[in-house]
Amino acid sequence: MINKKNNIFAYLISNMFTQSEENYLKAIYHLELVSTKGISTNAIAKKIETKASSVTDMVKKLSDKKVVVYKKYKGVKLTSLGKKTAANIVRKHRLWEVFLVEKLNFSWDEVHEVAEQLEHIKSPKLINQLDAFLDFPKQDPHGDPIPDKEGNLKTIEKSLLATLHKNEIGICVGVNDSSSEFLQFLDKQGITIGQEIKVLDKEDFDNSLSIEIDQKELSISSKIANNLYIQKK
């Protein structure tokens, strides 16, 4: 029961960002991690599953709020305020994912949808206490790094499984695709974060790999190998 005029809390949160604005900021943040250029309207539209015209509108609003720099036809870039804001949303998302897996027995393929909602809850105390309650985790259940309070993100060194050569060994440290289909597939194959993987053979024909996990041999497609991050041993 939130009222903009009489409720101080509601006033404070109304002065921040709407759920929709937060989703745009997060999308731009993720896109900036891959490309260094200005993020195009179409790229955002695709990511957020909306229309380019809606993106243009929102991007103007975000520009007014000083979280992005926007030049017509030239795409957008997050300002430092924008980066910090977006990182904070990602921080919340990933901390909630840890909570769901560690405390509520969710599996790693079930957490995304719920975290997508929980990330918008406004309460600094909540997220700080949650962080402490979870013992200050550094990665989410998919191996993605959790930004710290200042929005700094410590990326660990990782390579795609597909880049390993024959007889090399790696430890699974993350996934590139975190769709529930892919994650469930990994579960079925017994592949989890921390799992040791040895490349037994590489097939030139289709780039599929023959790998060893837990003393078992397994053949995986190139698509799989390009969505699994490992740390070389």
- Contacts with DNA by CB under 7 A lie at 18-21, 23, 40-43, 50-61, 70, 72-75
Neighbours of 140 (CB within 10 A): 26
Closest distance of CB 151 from DNA, Å = 22
68 scored as a contact of its own copies (CB under 8 A) = no
Q: How far is the CB of 49 from its own copies (least distance, A)?
A: 4
Contacts of range 208-215, beta carbons closer than 8 Å, 24 or more positions apart = 209/161, 209/162, 209/164, 211/161, 213/189, 214/190
Instruction: Return the H-helix or E-strand segment holding 130.
Output: helix 124-133
Q: 97 or 224: whose CB is closer to its own copies? A: 97
Helices 41-48 and 19-32: crossing angle, nearest 10°? 120
122 binds its own copies (CB under 8 A): yes
By CB under 8 A, how many residues form the interface with its own copies? 33
Buried-exposed string 96-134: b where 16+ CB fall within 10 A, e elsewhere: bbbbbbeeeebebbbbbebbeebbbeeeeeebeebbeee
Query: Does 6 contact its own copies by CB under 8 A?
Result: yes
156: contact with its own copies by CB under 8 A: no
Give min distance, CB of 169 to its own copies, in A. 36
> Which CB sits closer to DNA, 2 or 126?
2
Residues lying near its own copies in the complex (CB under 8 A) are found at 1-3, 5-7, 9, 23, 26-27, 47-50, 100, 103-106, 110, 113-114, 116-118, 121-123, 125-126, 129-130, 133
